[in-house]
Amino acid sequence: MPEAQPRPSTEHRGEGGAGDGAAVREAVASRALWYHTIELPSGVTTPGWFDLRPIVDRLPWPDVRGKRCLDVGTYDGYLAFELERRGASEVVATDIADHALWDWPPSLRGAGTETLAARTGEDKTGGFAIAREALGSKVEHKLISVYDLSPESVGTFEVVVCGALMLHLRDPLGALQAIRSVCDGAFLSSEAVNLRLTAQHPRTPMASLDGVSTRLHWWLPNTAGHRQMVRSSGFEIERSTRPFSIRFGDGFPRDRLERRPWKRRGLRRALAGADGVPHAAVLARAG
């Protein structure tokens, strides 16, 4: 694992967020589901399903200062706002507009979208808008599928980041090739990985296939598989990390945590340093 870089100043580069703490708290509370844990002004923290704060400095970041950057699959915007905070001159964050546009298996499309609608009560872009306003951020939000990224649709970027998106895609290689088409420099890819396959086959690219469960997972590679996916899409890898866990946030359903097998928790602590969702990250360059 590369050494953590010094943490930049916590001052956000926006022009100042919504200073009214009560208004920020009310806006955050109005949203039924937060995916990311994000620290906002006035001591407000969103109750995200996942908390990237403990691992963000362990990612193999490129220098983003003064550069045009893209965050693909931004959801609530944690990585986009991090790019801005680290000094990017321009940040574009992309995502799809609605959960119905996900790569649903045919057997789950109707039930899955209904379940998410009942759980969220709104479209998936609302959290980003709340956080952006509260932070006084200048990040530009574009509603576009990763598959549709192209120089014609969004331009090109000196730095592209993408976190925890590929396992939800039927065609992750097609998505990575679309990302490569708009990347003129560095690509930071952080993705969920299969710990068991990583331990059993540390050097052989492999992946497990789901595609039928309600988790909406498709391909889950081992760490070698993740690196191979990035290479095969036209990138040259400069640095990579060992597996690490992204921890569950305060908003993650407690009943789901309690049902998780203890053996799985133990494996994640042993191989990824903590309980959570195992990930690995690479820093690559457009070849």
Q: Which amino acid makes up residue 99?
A: H
Is residue 257 very low, low, confident or very high in pLDDT (cuts 50, 70, 90)?
confident
Residue 15 lies inside a defined structural domain of this protein: no
CA atoms of 64 and 66, how far apart (whole Å):
6
Confidence (pLDDT) at 2 = 36
Mean pLDDT in the chain?
89
pLDDT at 10 over 50: no
Other Cβ atoms within 10 Å of 32 Cβ, number? 13
Confidence (pLDDT) at 162 = 98
- The secondary structure of 173-186, three-state, reads HHHHHHHHHHEEEE
Residue 12 lies inside a defined structural domain of this protein: no
Q: What is the percent of the chain with per-residue pLDDT over 90, rounded to a whole number? A: 72
Residue 10 lies inside a defined structural domain of this protein: no
pLDDT at 160 over 80: yes
Number of domains composing the chain: 1
Residue 4 lies inside a defined structural domain of this protein: no
Which tokens belong to 53? Answer: 């704060």
Confidence (pLDDT) at 5 = 41
pLDDT in tens, 43-94: 999 999 999 999 999 999 999 999 999 999 999 999 999 999 999 999 999 9
pLDDT in tens, 80-137: 999 999 999 999 999 998 878 889 888 777 665 555 555 555 566 899 999 999 999 9
Phi, psi for residue 54 in degrees, rounded to 5:
-70, -20
Domain coverage including residue 124: 21-286
User: 244: domain CATH number?
Assistant: 3.40.50.150
Is residue 12 very low, low, confident or very high in pLDDT (cuts 50, 70, 90)?
low
Lowest-confidence region among 13-17, 51-55, 64-68, 176-180: 13-17
Is residue 11 very low, low, confident or very high in pLDDT (cuts 50, 70, 90)?
very low
CA atoms of 101 and 137, how far apart (whole Å):
26
pLDDT at 188 over 90: yes
CA 42, distance to chain mean position in Å, is: 25
pLDDT at 1 over 90: no
Residue 14 lies inside a defined structural domain of this protein: no
Other Cβ atoms within 10 Å of 213 Cβ, number? 10
pLDDT at 7 over 60: no
Residue 3 lies inside a defined structural domain of this protein: no
Confidence (pLDDT) at 113 = 58
Is residue 152 very low, low, confident or very high in pLDDT (cuts 50, 70, 90)?
very high
Confidence (pLDDT) at 110 = 67
Residue 11 lies inside a defined structural domain of this protein: no
Per-residue pLDDT, averaged over 136-142, amounts to: 98
Residue 1 lies inside a defined structural domain of this protein: no
